[in-house]
Amino acid sequence: MDDVYKSPESNLGRDNTEIKYAGFWTRFAANIIDMLWILPLVFALGYLYYGSHYIMSDELYLGGFDIFIQYIFPALITLAFWVYKSATPGKMAVRTKIVDAKTLEPASSVQLVIRYLSYYISMLALFLGFIWVAFDKRKQAWHDKLAKTLVIHD
């Protein structure tokens, strides 16, 4: 067999073993786990910088550093885990990883950045891009399709 993944319709990897795609609930659980460790970091950073006002404020943003704390910091952490481990701690906990959809090798850094930015597209229309995983043959969310990635069981 070729050294390359057979075809988008095949459920077999390079070594003729079946690919087990990570479904909606597995991926949902991974995201919950990730929120449980990243949100405390975000709140801790905000508290260290802004004090108790950060927790008690009704304002959406308290300043430029708050945008860094809420958006850039989580993106950098997520991308670092994806690049170095092919998974976040949540994905590792449910034993899944992100791979290139064609080769089943670790996704490239460019693919991972596209995947992260495409999360915003998946959020459009009431998170339909994430829910799409439940109905897709290869369990791809919209951001996976755009980045040409898969989430598979490790």
At 100-111, the pLDDT tens digits run 999 999 999 999
At 119-139, the pLDDT tens digits run 999 999 899 999 999 999 999
Q: For residue 18, is it left (φ>0), alpha (ψ between -120 and 50) or beta?
A: beta
Question: Rounded to two decimals, what is the model's pTM?
Answer: 0.85
Please state which of the ranges 3-7, 85-89, 118-122 shows the lowest mean pLDDT: 3-7
Given a contact cutoff of 8 angstroms between Cβ atoms, the answer to whether 103 and 19 are in contact is no
Rounded Cα–Cα distance for residues 112 and 25 (Å): 22
**For the chain, what are the domain ranges?**
24-153
